[in-house]
Amino acid sequence: MSQLKTVLVLCTGNSCRSQMGEAILNHELAGLARALSAGTAPQPKVADGAIAALRLIGLPTEGLHPKDVEAVMNEDIDLVVSVCDKARESCPVFPRPVKRIHVGFHDPHGEPLDSFIRVRDDIRERLVPAVRAALDI
């Protein structure tokens, strides 16, 4: 069995899109990849809408909390996925070369739950296959 690949889902606030991406990738790619998320300027908490949208499809949300990208710098990361344009522009330099891709999503912050659900479904539809392709898993 090959070692799990580690994916970092990077956003600015690490309160919504990247958190949903982390939970969805950990569910959909269980046994193949381990997802982490972080932000370049993390918010104080995960958006309620993101938590609600994940719970609606039965995904665990315990332990999800905004983290600064510095907190994951020493992880052995195989792939960085930026999910917002701002994070792509300010993506930090990692201690070793790391593959990067960008898959942008609408920011539903401050919008009704329906927007979070649409973004969650978009993440499932586009992020999972993009990560599979990038890591060849």
- How would you class 121 by CB atoms within 10 Å of its CB: exposed for 0-12, middle for 13-18, buried for 19 or more? middle
The residue annotated as part of the active site, out of 77, 84, 87, 127, is: 84
Active site residue 16: no
CA–CA separation, 33 and 12 (whole Å): 22
- State the sign of the Cα–Cα–Cα–Cα dihedral 63, 17, 129, 70: negative
DSSP 101: E
Active-site choice (32, 91, 98, 130) = 91
State the pLDDT confidence band at 1, using cuts at 50, 70 and 90.
very low
| Catalytic residue selected from 9, 10, 11, 20 | 11
How is the chain split into domains, by residue range? 5-132
Read off the pLDDT of residues 24-52 as tens digits, 9 standing for 90 and up. Answer: 999 999 999 999 999 989 999 999 999 99
Which element (helix H / strand E) includes 2?
Answer: none
Residue 97's pLDDT is 82
pLDDT tens track for 82-124: 998 775 666 666 767 889 999 999 999 999 999 999 999 999 9
Phi and psi at residue 85, in whole multiples of 5°?
Answer: -60, -40
Return the CATH fold of 5-132.
Rossmann fold (3.40.50)
What average pLDDT score do residues 13-17 get?
Answer: 95
